[in-house]
Amino acid sequence: MRSVKLLSEEVIKLLHTNNLLKPLLKAEYLKEVLSNVSIDKNKEEKGVNDLKEKLDLSDENNYQKWLQVNHLDSNDFKNLALKDIRVKAYCKKTFDHKAESRFLERKSQLDIIVYSLIRVKDIFTAKEIYLRISENESDFGDLASLYSEGIERRTRGLVGPIPLGQAHPALIEVLRTSQPGNVQPPFEIEGSHLVVRVESYDPAQLDDFMREKMTEELFNQWIEVQVNRIHESLINPKQLLNDGEES
């Protein structure tokens, strides 16, 4: 990476000790990668105009004043406006062929779920709550408002819709194997006894949106690996940057 050569050992040490080196390397590496991404002229013009409109800079005088205040030129503004567009284009070109395998790896975490939850410390209270719900003696939401000891008490026990992967690992297994509408017997997680019921379960689909999400995940993962390698080379005096790999 060419810009790294501008950093002296003292500057590198200063940035590193203040946890600023890696963010700088990531920004510079990303800028270098995206500089080679070509964008259709019409998309480029639209991207710039969209950002101007978003920042209320459609008026040329306002636009010029904004550039001056932020110490930027029109090319900097264009790069700012096109960053996300270039990232999406690079992701599609470089990682689209891996999107399906990434999706299959992550699918169980991406499924969308809505569930009801009550958690209490006392196992006997949990058992009583389970029986009252399973025998239709009481409403799940009413009991959650009365007894649940977590934040879900404020939502009458309702959680979601959220990606399944955001739940506790032990809870994920219960939710994944539960039939919607069936309340599950109490089980313990980290000292609390939980009563849960899946309300709805929507399996993730590899549509255009999800394919784009998968390619961006692969891109971010790749960027992180590259930046970590450069970072280690800079802070470890026994390692040298490989100009051929990082230029």
- What's the pLDDT at 237? 57
Question: What is the mean pLDDT, run by run of 10 residues, along the chain of 247 residues?
Answer: 79 91 92 89 92 93 94 93 94 95 90 94 94 93 93 92 89 90 93 94 93 96 94 73 44
pLDDT confidence of residue 158: 94
CATH number at residue 196: 3.10.50.40
Q: Which domain holds residue 131?
A: 112-202
DSSP assigned state of 1? -
The DSSP secondary structure of 89-150, one letter per residue, reads HHHHHHHGGGHHHHHHHHHHHH-EEEEEEEEES-HHHHHHHHHHHHTTSS-HHHHHHHH--S
The count of domains in the chain is: 2
**Which tokens is 22 given?**
């890696």
pLDDT per residue as tens digits for the range 88-117: 999 999 999 999 999 999 988 899 999 999
Residue 196 lies in a domain: yes
Same-domain status, 182 and 236: no
In this structure, the number of other CB atoms found within 10 A of the CB of residue 174 comes to 18
Closest by CA to 140, choosing from 153, 150, 151, is 153
Please indicate, yes or no, whether residues 128 and 177 belong to a single structural domain of this protein.
yes
Residue 2 is predicted with a pLDDT of 73
Is residue 137 situated within a structural domain? yes
Bond preceding residue 161 cis, omega within 30 of 0: yes
42 and 88 assigned to the same domain: yes
Pairing of strands 158-163, 187-189: unpaired
Q: Is residue 107 part of a domain?
A: no
Query: Residue 221 in contact with residue 8, Cβ under 8 Å?
Result: no
Looking at the structure, tell me whether residues 153 and 227 fall in a common domain. no
